[in-house]
Structure 1
Amino acid sequence: MTADYLRTALTFRLAVADDAAEIARIHVKAWQAAYRSIFPAVYLDSLSVPRRQVLWAQLIARGMPRVMLAQRDEVMLGWIAWGASRDYDSGKTDAEIEAIYIDPPHWREGAGRMLIDEAINAAASEGYRQMTLWALEENVRGLRFYKALGFALDGVFRTERVGGCEVCETRLRIAI
Protein backbone atom coordinates (compact mmCIF):
# COMPACT_ATOMS: atom_id res chain seq x y z
CA MET A 1 0.00 0.00 0.00
CA THR A 2 1.24 3.47 -0.74
CA ALA A 3 1.31 6.22 1.85
CA ASP A 4 -1.24 8.22 -0.16
CA TYR A 5 -3.68 5.31 -0.11
CA LEU A 6 -3.19 4.79 3.62
CA ARG A 7 -3.68 8.48 4.34
CA THR A 8 -7.00 8.52 2.48
CA ALA A 9 -8.07 5.20 3.98
CA LEU A 10 -7.47 6.36 7.56
CA THR A 11 -9.42 8.89 9.54
CA PHE A 12 -8.17 10.70 12.61
CA ARG A 13 -10.22 12.15 15.44
CA LEU A 14 -9.94 13.09 19.08
CA ALA A 15 -11.07 10.43 21.52
CA VAL A 16 -14.34 10.63 23.44
CA ALA A 17 -15.30 8.80 26.63
CA ASP A 18 -16.90 5.93 24.69
CA ASP A 19 -13.49 5.15 23.14
CA ALA A 20 -11.85 4.30 26.48
CA ALA A 21 -12.54 0.56 26.29
CA GLU A 22 -10.97 0.13 22.85
CA ILE A 23 -8.04 2.41 23.77
CA ALA A 24 -7.45 0.23 26.85
CA ARG A 25 -7.67 -2.99 24.84
CA ILE A 26 -5.09 -1.74 22.33
CA HIS A 27 -2.89 -0.44 25.16
CA VAL A 28 -2.78 -3.85 26.85
CA LYS A 29 -2.40 -5.90 23.64
CA ALA A 30 0.40 -3.65 22.34
CA TRP A 31 2.28 -3.85 25.66
CA GLN A 32 1.95 -7.63 25.69
CA ALA A 33 3.25 -7.91 22.12
CA ALA A 34 5.95 -5.21 22.13
CA TYR A 35 7.45 -5.79 25.55
CA ARG A 36 7.34 -9.61 25.82
CA SER A 37 11.14 -9.77 25.79
CA ILE A 38 11.52 -6.87 28.25
CA PHE A 39 9.03 -7.55 31.06
CA PRO A 40 8.14 -10.82 32.79
CA ALA A 41 5.25 -12.73 31.20
CA VAL A 42 3.44 -12.86 34.54
CA TYR A 43 3.40 -9.04 34.66
CA LEU A 44 2.31 -8.62 31.04
CA ASP A 45 -0.39 -11.26 31.41
CA SER A 46 -1.73 -9.47 34.49
CA LEU A 47 -2.35 -6.18 32.67
CA SER A 48 -6.02 -5.29 33.03
CA VAL A 49 -8.14 -3.82 30.26
CA PRO A 50 -10.87 -2.73 32.75
CA ARG A 51 -8.33 -0.85 34.92
CA ARG A 52 -6.80 0.83 31.87
CA GLN A 53 -10.31 1.69 30.65
CA VAL A 54 -10.98 3.59 33.89
CA LEU A 55 -7.65 5.43 33.54
CA TRP A 56 -8.27 6.40 29.90
CA ALA A 57 -11.85 7.47 30.59
CA GLN A 58 -10.52 9.84 33.29
CA LEU A 59 -7.75 11.23 31.05
CA ILE A 60 -10.12 11.76 28.12
CA ALA A 61 -12.62 13.55 30.38
CA ARG A 62 -9.82 15.77 31.71
CA GLY A 63 -8.72 16.62 28.17
CA MET A 64 -5.02 16.16 28.90
CA PRO A 65 -3.21 14.56 27.36
CA ARG A 66 -4.98 14.91 24.05
CA VAL A 67 -5.81 11.47 22.68
CA MET A 68 -6.11 11.08 18.92
CA LEU A 69 -7.33 7.93 17.20
CA ALA A 70 -6.52 6.39 13.83
CA GLN A 71 -9.41 4.47 12.30
CA ARG A 72 -10.13 2.62 9.09
CA ASP A 73 -13.76 1.81 8.36
CA GLU A 74 -14.73 2.51 11.99
CA VAL A 75 -12.06 0.07 13.27
CA MET A 76 -9.61 1.68 15.68
CA LEU A 77 -6.07 0.83 14.57
CA GLY A 78 -4.25 2.80 17.23
CA TRP A 79 -3.95 6.01 19.20
CA ILE A 80 -1.53 8.66 20.35
CA ALA A 81 -1.57 10.74 23.54
CA TRP A 82 0.28 14.04 23.57
CA GLY A 83 0.38 17.39 25.34
CA ALA A 84 2.74 19.88 26.93
CA SER A 85 6.01 18.30 28.03
CA ARG A 86 6.03 17.04 31.61
CA ASP A 87 9.83 17.06 31.85
CA TYR A 88 11.61 19.18 34.46
CA ASP A 89 13.86 20.75 31.82
CA SER A 90 11.15 21.56 29.29
CA GLY A 91 10.25 24.98 28.01
CA LYS A 92 6.88 26.44 27.09
CA THR A 93 7.33 25.41 23.45
CA ASP A 94 8.06 21.74 24.23
CA ALA A 95 5.36 19.16 23.58
CA GLU A 96 5.57 15.48 24.47
CA ILE A 97 4.16 12.30 23.02
CA GLU A 98 3.17 10.51 26.21
CA ALA A 99 2.13 7.27 24.51
CA ILE A 100 1.48 5.79 21.10
CA TYR A 101 0.15 2.29 20.56
CA ILE A 102 -1.06 0.44 17.49
CA ASP A 103 -3.15 -2.72 17.66
CA PRO A 104 -0.58 -5.47 16.92
CA PRO A 105 -2.43 -6.93 13.90
CA HIS A 106 -2.06 -3.47 12.29
CA TRP A 107 1.65 -2.91 12.96
CA ARG A 108 3.65 -1.76 9.95
CA GLU A 109 0.62 -0.44 8.06
CA GLY A 110 1.52 3.24 8.49
CA ALA A 111 -0.95 4.23 11.21
CA GLY A 112 1.79 4.99 13.76
CA ARG A 113 3.69 7.24 11.40
CA MET A 114 0.53 9.10 10.45
CA LEU A 115 -0.57 9.49 14.08
CA ILE A 116 2.80 11.05 14.91
CA ASP A 117 2.47 13.36 11.88
CA GLU A 118 -1.01 14.40 13.06
CA ALA A 119 0.20 15.05 16.63
CA ILE A 120 3.21 17.05 15.40
CA ASN A 121 1.02 19.16 13.11
CA ALA A 122 -1.49 19.79 15.91
CA ALA A 123 1.29 20.71 18.35
CA ALA A 124 2.92 23.07 15.83
CA SER A 125 -0.43 24.78 15.22
CA GLU A 126 -0.61 25.45 18.98
CA GLY A 127 2.82 27.09 19.03
CA TYR A 128 4.98 24.19 20.15
CA ARG A 129 8.42 24.03 18.50
CA GLN A 130 9.85 20.77 19.88
CA MET A 131 8.29 17.34 20.40
CA THR A 132 9.81 14.76 22.72
CA LEU A 133 9.02 11.21 23.65
CA TRP A 134 10.46 8.58 25.95
CA ALA A 135 11.29 5.04 24.81
CA LEU A 136 12.64 2.02 26.59
CA GLU A 137 16.29 1.50 25.68
CA GLU A 138 15.51 -2.18 25.11
CA ASN A 139 12.70 -1.37 22.69
CA VAL A 140 14.89 -1.63 19.59
CA ARG A 141 11.92 -1.72 17.19
CA GLY A 142 10.43 1.43 18.70
CA LEU A 143 13.72 3.31 18.71
CA ARG A 144 14.32 2.41 15.07
CA PHE A 145 10.81 3.62 14.19
CA TYR A 146 11.20 6.97 15.98
CA LYS A 147 14.63 7.60 14.48
CA ALA A 148 13.29 6.85 10.99
CA LEU A 149 10.72 9.63 11.56
CA GLY A 150 13.45 12.14 12.40
CA PHE A 151 13.53 11.91 16.19
CA ALA A 152 17.03 11.92 17.67
CA LEU A 153 18.37 10.89 21.05
CA ASP A 154 18.99 14.01 23.12
CA GLY A 155 21.21 12.41 25.77
CA VAL A 156 18.67 12.43 28.62
CA PHE A 157 17.88 9.15 30.38
CA ARG A 158 15.75 8.06 33.31
CA THR A 159 15.26 4.85 35.22
CA GLU A 160 11.78 3.56 36.05
CA ARG A 161 10.51 0.58 37.98
CA VAL A 162 7.81 -1.24 35.99
CA GLY A 163 6.45 -4.72 36.52
CA GLY A 164 9.11 -5.51 39.09
CA CYS A 165 11.89 -4.57 36.66
CA GLU A 166 14.17 -1.59 36.59
CA VAL A 167 14.23 -0.22 33.03
CA CYS A 168 16.05 2.66 31.42
CA GLU A 169 14.22 5.08 29.15
CA THR A 170 15.88 7.43 26.73
CA ARG A 171 14.41 10.67 25.46
CA LEU A 172 14.13 11.51 21.79
CA ARG A 173 13.43 14.94 20.33
CA ILE A 174 12.41 16.49 17.02
CA ALA A 175 12.04 20.12 15.98
CA ILE A 176 8.56 20.84 14.65
Structure 2
Amino acid sequence: MKADYLRTALSFRLAAPSDAAEIARIHVKAWQAAYRSIFPAEYLNSLSIPKRRALWSELIARGMPRIMLAERDDIMLGWIAWGPSRDNDKGRTDAEIEAIYIDPAHWRQGAGRMLIDEAINAAASEGYREMTLWALEENVHGLRFYKALGFALDGVFRTERLGGCEVCETRLHMAI
Protein backbone atom coordinates (compact mmCIF):
# COMPACT_ATOMS: atom_id res chain seq x y z
CA MET A 1 0.00 0.00 0.00
CA LYS A 2 2.79 2.44 0.90
CA ALA A 3 4.52 2.05 -2.49
CA ASP A 4 1.24 2.61 -4.35
CA TYR A 5 0.57 5.75 -2.33
CA LEU A 6 4.05 7.07 -2.94
CA ARG A 7 3.89 6.30 -6.66
CA THR A 8 0.75 8.43 -6.97
CA ALA A 9 2.12 11.12 -4.65
CA LEU A 10 5.44 11.48 -6.46
CA SER A 11 6.07 13.07 -9.82
CA PHE A 12 9.10 12.55 -12.01
CA ARG A 13 10.65 14.92 -14.53
CA LEU A 14 13.92 15.68 -16.21
CA ALA A 15 16.07 18.31 -14.53
CA ALA A 16 16.10 21.91 -15.76
CA PRO A 17 18.97 24.39 -15.27
CA SER A 18 17.07 25.98 -12.37
CA ASP A 19 17.27 22.64 -10.47
CA ALA A 20 21.08 22.60 -10.19
CA ALA A 21 21.23 24.23 -6.75
CA GLU A 22 18.79 21.78 -5.16
CA ILE A 23 20.45 18.81 -6.89
CA ALA A 24 23.79 20.00 -5.45
CA ARG A 25 22.31 20.44 -1.97
CA ILE A 26 20.90 16.91 -1.97
CA HIS A 27 24.15 15.54 -3.40
CA VAL A 28 26.25 17.02 -0.59
CA LYS A 29 23.79 16.25 2.24
CA ALA A 30 23.36 12.64 1.08
CA TRP A 31 27.14 12.14 0.84
CA GLN A 32 27.61 13.57 4.32
CA ALA A 33 24.94 11.29 5.78
CA ALA A 34 25.57 8.07 3.82
CA TYR A 35 29.36 8.02 3.85
CA ARG A 36 30.21 9.32 7.33
CA SER A 37 31.57 5.90 8.33
CA ILE A 38 33.61 5.63 5.10
CA PHE A 39 35.23 9.05 4.61
CA PRO A 40 36.84 11.40 7.16
CA ALA A 41 34.53 14.06 8.63
CA GLU A 42 36.96 16.76 7.47
CA TYR A 43 36.52 15.67 3.85
CA LEU A 44 32.73 15.37 4.08
CA ASN A 45 32.46 18.76 5.77
CA SER A 46 34.53 20.30 2.97
CA LEU A 47 32.10 19.26 0.23
CA SER A 48 30.92 22.39 -1.50
CA ILE A 49 27.35 22.95 -2.61
CA PRO A 50 28.41 25.85 -4.92
CA LYS A 51 31.02 23.64 -6.64
CA ARG A 52 28.51 20.83 -7.06
CA ARG A 53 26.00 23.34 -8.37
CA ALA A 54 28.45 24.39 -11.09
CA LEU A 55 29.04 20.73 -11.99
CA TRP A 56 25.33 19.91 -12.19
CA SER A 57 24.57 23.11 -14.13
CA GLU A 58 27.10 22.02 -16.74
CA LEU A 59 25.79 18.45 -16.92
CA ILE A 60 22.16 19.59 -17.19
CA ALA A 61 23.10 21.97 -20.01
CA ARG A 62 25.01 19.19 -21.79
CA GLY A 63 22.02 16.83 -21.50
CA MET A 64 24.10 13.83 -20.55
CA PRO A 65 23.77 12.06 -18.26
CA ARG A 66 20.01 12.35 -18.09
CA ILE A 67 19.00 13.67 -14.68
CA MET A 68 15.55 12.73 -13.45
CA LEU A 69 13.99 14.23 -10.33
CA ALA A 70 11.48 12.83 -7.87
CA GLU A 71 9.21 15.48 -6.38
CA ARG A 72 6.25 15.66 -4.06
CA ASP A 73 4.29 18.90 -3.78
CA ASP A 74 7.06 20.75 -5.67
CA ILE A 75 9.69 19.59 -3.18
CA MET A 76 12.62 17.65 -4.65
CA LEU A 77 13.11 14.41 -2.72
CA GLY A 78 15.97 13.08 -4.81
CA TRP A 79 17.41 12.50 -8.24
CA ILE A 80 19.04 9.94 -10.48
CA ALA A 81 21.61 10.45 -13.25
CA TRP A 82 21.86 7.81 -15.96
CA GLY A 83 23.01 7.36 -19.54
CA PRO A 84 25.03 5.06 -21.76
CA SER A 85 27.59 2.97 -19.89
CA ARG A 86 30.96 4.68 -19.52
CA ASP A 87 32.77 1.36 -19.06
CA ASN A 88 35.14 0.16 -21.78
CA ASP A 89 33.92 -3.42 -21.53
CA LYS A 90 30.28 -2.50 -22.15
CA GLY A 91 28.46 -2.03 -25.45
CA ARG A 92 25.81 0.15 -27.06
CA THR A 93 22.93 -1.64 -25.33
CA ASP A 94 24.33 -1.08 -21.83
CA ALA A 95 23.14 1.83 -19.70
CA GLU A 96 24.58 3.02 -16.40
CA ILE A 97 23.17 4.70 -13.34
CA GLU A 98 25.93 7.22 -12.66
CA ALA A 99 24.47 8.54 -9.40
CA ILE A 100 21.34 8.40 -7.29
CA TYR A 101 20.83 10.48 -4.17
CA ILE A 102 17.83 11.07 -1.97
CA ASP A 103 17.58 13.91 0.54
CA PRO A 104 18.35 12.21 3.89
CA ALA A 105 15.11 13.63 5.31
CA HIS A 106 13.26 11.41 2.80
CA TRP A 107 15.28 8.18 3.03
CA ARG A 108 13.44 4.86 3.19
CA GLN A 109 10.19 6.23 1.81
CA GLY A 110 10.35 4.65 -1.66
CA ALA A 111 11.65 7.55 -3.76
CA GLY A 112 14.96 5.81 -4.57
CA ARG A 113 13.26 2.61 -5.66
CA MET A 114 10.86 4.54 -7.88
CA LEU A 115 13.62 6.67 -9.41
CA ILE A 116 15.50 3.50 -10.36
CA ASP A 117 12.29 2.03 -11.82
CA GLU A 118 11.78 5.21 -13.88
CA ALA A 119 15.38 5.19 -15.15
CA ILE A 120 15.19 1.49 -16.06
CA ASN A 121 11.90 1.97 -17.91
CA ALA A 122 13.29 4.98 -19.79
CA ALA A 123 16.47 3.09 -20.70
CA ALA A 124 14.53 0.04 -21.88
CA SER A 125 12.30 2.25 -24.04
CA GLU A 126 15.47 3.60 -25.70
CA GLY A 127 16.71 0.10 -26.54
CA TYR A 128 19.11 -0.54 -23.67
CA ARG A 129 19.15 -4.14 -22.44
CA GLU A 130 21.29 -3.91 -19.31
CA MET A 131 21.66 -1.37 -16.52
CA THR A 132 24.83 -1.15 -14.44
CA LEU A 133 25.91 0.93 -11.48
CA TRP A 134 28.97 1.28 -9.28
CA ALA A 135 28.77 1.20 -5.47
CA LEU A 136 31.34 1.54 -2.73
CA GLU A 137 32.07 -1.88 -1.25
CA GLU A 138 31.79 -0.36 2.22
CA ASN A 139 28.32 1.03 1.47
CA VAL A 140 26.53 -1.96 2.98
CA HIS A 141 23.11 -0.27 3.00
CA GLY A 142 23.41 0.78 -0.64
CA LEU A 143 24.53 -2.67 -1.78
CA ARG A 144 21.63 -4.28 0.09
CA PHE A 145 19.21 -1.80 -1.52
CA TYR A 146 20.49 -2.45 -5.06
CA LYS A 147 20.45 -6.23 -4.59
CA ALA A 148 16.86 -6.07 -3.28
CA LEU A 149 15.92 -4.34 -6.55
CA GLY A 150 17.41 -7.19 -8.58
CA PHE A 151 20.92 -5.93 -9.27
CA ALA A 152 23.71 -8.49 -8.92
CA LEU A 153 27.45 -8.17 -8.53
CA ASP A 154 29.19 -8.85 -11.83
CA GLY A 155 32.71 -9.39 -10.45
CA VAL A 156 34.22 -6.14 -11.74
CA PHE A 157 35.97 -3.86 -9.24
CA ARG A 158 37.92 -0.61 -9.34
CA THR A 159 39.90 1.31 -6.77
CA GLU A 160 39.90 5.08 -6.49
CA ARG A 161 41.51 7.62 -4.20
CA LEU A 162 38.90 9.98 -2.82
CA GLY A 163 38.83 12.22 0.22
CA GLY A 164 42.26 11.03 1.31
CA CYS A 165 41.07 7.42 1.26
CA GLU A 166 41.52 4.54 -1.10
CA VAL A 167 38.09 3.05 -1.74
CA CYS A 168 36.99 0.05 -3.73
CA GLU A 169 33.91 0.15 -5.89
CA THR A 170 32.08 -2.88 -7.20
CA ARG A 171 29.87 -2.98 -10.27
CA LEU A 172 26.37 -4.34 -10.22
CA HIS A 173 24.17 -5.12 -13.22
CA MET A 174 20.64 -6.06 -14.18
CA ALA A 175 19.06 -7.17 -17.42
CA ILE A 176 16.24 -4.82 -18.41
Q: Scaled by the length of structure 1, what TM-score is found?
A: 0.99
**Residue of structure 1 equivalent to 2:25:** 25
2:9 & 2:25 partners in 1: Cα distance? 22
**Cα deviation code 1:49-100 (max 9, x no counterpart):** 0000000000000000000000000000000000000001001100000000
Q: State the one-letter code of the partner of 2:79.
A: W
Identity of aligned residues (%): 84
1:117 aligned residue: 117
Alpha-carbon shift at residue 2 of structure 1 (Å): 1.3
Letter in 2 for 1:89: D
Could you say which residue in structure 2 is the equivalent of 1:6?
A: 6
CA-CA distance at 1:145 after TM superposition: 0.1
C-alpha offsets along residues 95-145 of structure 1, whole Å, 9 cap, x if unaligned? 000000000010000000000000000000000000000000000000000
Output the amino acid matched with 1:96.
E
* Superposed CA RMSD: 0.5
**Counterpart of 2:89 in structure 1: which amino acid?**
D
1:107 aligned residue: 107
Stretches of structure 2 lacking an aligned partner (at least 5 in a row): none
For normalisation by structure 2, the TM-score amounts to 0.99
Instruction: Indicate the residue corresponding to 2:98 in structure 1.
Output: 98
In the TM superposition, what are the counterparts of 1:50-61 in structure 2 within 5 Å?
Answer: 50-61=50-61
Instruction: Give the count of matched residue pairs.
Output: 176
2:170 equivalent to 1:166: no
1:6-41 residue CA offsets vs partner (Å, 9 max, x unmatched) = 000000000000000000000000000000000000
Question: Does structure 1 residue 136 correspond to structure 2 residue 153?
Answer: no
Cα distance in structure 2, aligned partners of 1:93 and 1:140: 29
Distance 1:131 1:50 in 2: 30
Q: Distance in 1 between matches of 2:78 and 2:164?
A: 27
Which residue in 2 is equivalent to 1:80? 80
Say which SS state the counterpart of residue 160 (structure 2) adopts.
strand
